[in-house]
Structure 1
Amino acid sequence: MTDIGKQRVLTGVKPTEAPHIGNYIGAIRPAIELAAQAEDSYLFIADYHALNIIRNAEELKEYTYLIAASWLALGLDAEKTAFYRQSDIPEIFEITTILSSVTPKGLMNRAHAYKAAIDKNKEAGRKGADLDYGINMGLYTYPILMAADILAPRGTLVPVGKDQIQHVEMTRDIAGSFNHLFGDILTLPDFYVQESTGLLPGLDGQKMSKSYGNHIPVFMDSKKRRKLIMKIVTDSKLPEEPKNPDENTIYQLYCHFATEAERAEMRSGFEKGGMGYGDAKQLLFEAVERDLEEPSKIYNDLLADKKRIDTLLEKGAEKARETAAATLKDMRHAIGLR
């Protein structure tokens, strides 16, 4: 069993739109809890990775602030965790160049994102050279940049979902190749598969997703949040009829925000009858509001003072650059550069 208290935990997050509660419960909250347990932790905003998708400068800048404000508002301790922009650590990109020279092309061919893009082109009927249609070198070589992100601060533990294990395995392969050629310079990280919270249902009972339009944003006006929660789709059972809470979107969401006693009370009300959907939705709203009311205030305050966000990210970058510079110095010495 991994002793978190002895690890340097590293997490990366792409700058996107503000999160919904599925992102919060499934990724942000567990990552913040893990960082709090670790001996040392680093969290970076992967703005260079985002260039593969985002082509608008103002959009990238704004998304970076939204993500930074979100994590800080939801409890990330910037005093303990080095929180920084990937783009503020120039050493990462020289490390990427060095790693590129020891990375087999065949390894890149096996990357999930690249293979998914190829499969999409096959499904569209493309063949031969057209199989690479729409695929840029940023996408193709992203595992090398990701390896540099992890290896630069000498991360020892990287929290991932089951579908992201390959990211860390490739980093280990690339670091292993370098170490085999030049000595044991790079720290090989381990992955940490976080316990699944399960797929959080959206307003319509499907997986919560912005693409489905069934999500509940983390940060929004209380009245709008209540209005959304009241739109959760239910069956036509009357309040006095027994209901299965485990097949109930309201209860499934409630479990992530309510206390143990509150969960037990709602479960009993559904199973025995007497708990109407309207009352249950109100209880869910109150539990969500209790959890997110203060973070929402912090979030809005941060976005109103973006210089404060810049200051926090710059402070985190100072620590990250210190470790990255030491790593790069060791690598340059090992390969024969001054």
Structure 2
Amino acid sequence: MRRQPFQWHRSISSTTSTTSTTTSEPVIFSGIQPTGVPHLGNYLGALHQWVKLQNNAKPGAKLLFSIVDLHALTVPQDAAQLRKWRREAFATLLAVGLDPKRSTIFYQSAVPAHAELMWILSTVASMGYLSRMTQWKSKLQLPEDITLEHSEARAQLRLGLFSYPVLQAADILVHKATHVPVGEDQRQHLEFSRYTANSFNHLYGPIFPIPEALISPAKRVMSLKEPTAKMSKSHADERSRILLTDSPSEIHKKVKVALTDSEPTVSYDPARRPGVSNLIEILSHFEEVPCAALAAEYQSASLRTLKEHVASRIAHHLQEVRERYIEIMEDQSGYLDTVAQEGAEVAQANASQTMRQVRDVMGL
């Protein structure tokens, strides 16, 4: 079958003004939290797309990708575990194909300007806007219609979790990012960044570009054991997710026990057959063939055949990533730390230019 070309969709609706600064070349920024080795959903929805952006970028474009470890602190962390997870996540970015010669890769906490700009942006950020954000409600497992006036919300909510979007805005704006690759579920956070940039520009002058969303074309990858929910590390059953470092045998075992249904044939119907449809969607990512076409191709096949092919396709694709990851983690030359240090220096130099302008217009 003819493969469809990869495309990002530039799309975001905004109620804010269009005040913006001009930049000669695009600046792309995105980040991922350090929860250890990413899973297949992280890879297809974000990391794989970052590599495509890097490889397709025009000369002069600036790409920055960060392990956003300060964001991880919104919930209590074991220090030793967090250090381990940070390294694993950083090694994975290199293993999937991000090239330090083409992209700046760094730990968020190694660039103090992120935290400094967060404080400054918090002076213009809207409490009312933050109270409507879904991030803190979902983290606390509270209903979306709950407000800060509810005693349950006030009792559980911590300032860091509530102001999480302000730090996210600082991550983007401190590098004057013009484009941010995000999944559909991150639209609200980017819209807050746009709103905050406009608020600052209105008060102090056109310092920040208004970042645009690059909406990933990838569908969400759902849990193998609960296909109506996103694949996640928080799920109690480890078989619900495929890690990028899983061996071929582990991948086959997990896909083999993926929840489907009792119907013997293959069809694509996300509402009625979420488990089978999830497998087809995963295969669609790798084959770059529409789900409907794959369903037609496999309509006479058994679910077992579909599962075997999906598992083989995943295992084959991730083999190089797994081997590269192991190589990086076992390296004794300090390669990973060197890349992180060099990335932090570039990111800090970039952020410092922005902060000089910010301090100047604010009288600091």
Which whole-Å CA distance do the structure 2 matches of 1:257 and 1:119 have between them?
A: 33
In the other structure, the counterpart of 1:315 is 342
TM-score by length of 1: 0.84
**Which 10-residue stretch deviates more, 296-305 or 108-117?**
108-117
Instruction: Determine helix, strand or coil for the equivalent of 2:66.
Output: strand
Q: Is the 8 A contact 1:121 1:132 kept in 2?
A: no
**Which 10-residue stretch deviates more, 74-83 or 20-29?**
20-29
Alpha-carbon distance change, 25 to 212 in structure 1, aligned in 2, over 3 angstroms: farther
In the other structure, the counterpart of 2:216 is 194
* Pairwise CA distance, 1:328: 0.6
Which whole-Å CA distance do the structure 1 matches of 2:152 and 2:228 have between them?
A: 35
In the other structure, the counterpart of 2:5 is none
* 2:336 counterpart letter in structure 1: I
Taking the TM superposition and a 5 Å limit, the aligned residue runs for 1:1-338 are: 6-38=25-57, 39-116=61-138, 120=142, 129-200=151-222, 202-203=224-225, 205-207=227-229, 208-210=231-233, 211=235, 213=237, 214-234=240-260, 243-244=266-267, 247=273, 248=276, 250-258=279-287, 267-268=296-297, 270-271=298-299, 273=300, 275-305=301-331, 307-337=334-364
Q: Is the 8 A contact 2:178 2:211 kept in 1?
A: yes
**Which 10-residue stretch deviates more, 75-84 or 301-310?**
301-310
Instruction: Determine helix, strand or coil for the equivalent of 1:147.
Output: helix
Alpha-carbon distance change, 184 to 296 in structure 1, aligned in 2, over 3 angstroms: same
TM-superposition CA deviations, 1:109-159 (whole Å, max 9, x none): 2332235568828999x9755531221111122222212111111100112
TM-superposition CA deviations, 1:178-229 (whole Å, max 9, x none): 2222222222212222224244451564443441622222212222222223
Which whole-Å CA distance do the structure 2 matches of 1:57 and 1:149 have between them?
A: 23
Instruction: Determine helix, strand or coil for the equivalent of 2:74.
Output: coil
Which whole-Å CA distance do the structure 1 matches of 2:63 and 2:223 have between them?
A: 31
* Pairwise CA distance, 1:294: 1.1
Alpha-carbon distance change, 34 to 336 in structure 1, aligned in 2, over 3 angstroms: same
Q: Is the 8 A contact 1:117 1:135 kept in 2?
A: no
Instruction: Determine helix, strand or coil for the equivalent of 1:9.
Output: strand
Instruction: Determine helix, strand or coil for the equivalent of 2:286.
Output: coil
Q: Is the 8 A contact 2:137 2:144 kept in 1?
A: no
Which whole-Å CA distance do the structure 2 matches of 1:72 and 1:278 have between them?
A: 34
Taking only aligned residues, the RMSD between alpha carbons, in angstroms, comes to 3.2
Q: Which runs of 5+ in 1 are unaligned?
A: none
Which whole-Å CA distance do the structure 2 matches of 1:230 and 1:118 have between them?
A: 33
Q: Is the 8 A contact 2:266 2:302 kept in 1?
A: no
Identity value in percent: 29
Which whole-Å CA distance do the structure 2 matches of 1:175 and 1:237 have between them?
A: 51
Q: Is the 8 A contact 1:202 1:209 kept in 2?
A: no
Which whole-Å CA distance do the structure 2 matches of 1:279 and 1:131 have between them?
A: 48
**Which 10-residue stretch deviates more, 160-169 or 228-237?**
228-237
Instruction: Determine helix, strand or coil for the equivalent of 2:34.
Output: coil
Alpha-carbon distance change, 76 to 226 in structure 1, aligned in 2, over 3 angstroms: same
Which whole-Å CA distance do the structure 1 matches of 2:30 and 2:354 have between them?
A: 18
* Pairwise CA distance, 1:14: 0.8
Q: Which runs of 5+ in 2 are unaligned?
A: 1-8, 12-23
* 2:351 counterpart letter in structure 1: A
TM-score by length of 2: 0.79
Alpha-carbon distance change, 224 to 164 in structure 1, aligned in 2, over 3 angstroms: closer
Moved over 6 A (4+): 121-124, 263-266
Alpha-carbon distance change, 282 to 171 in structure 1, aligned in 2, over 3 angstroms: closer
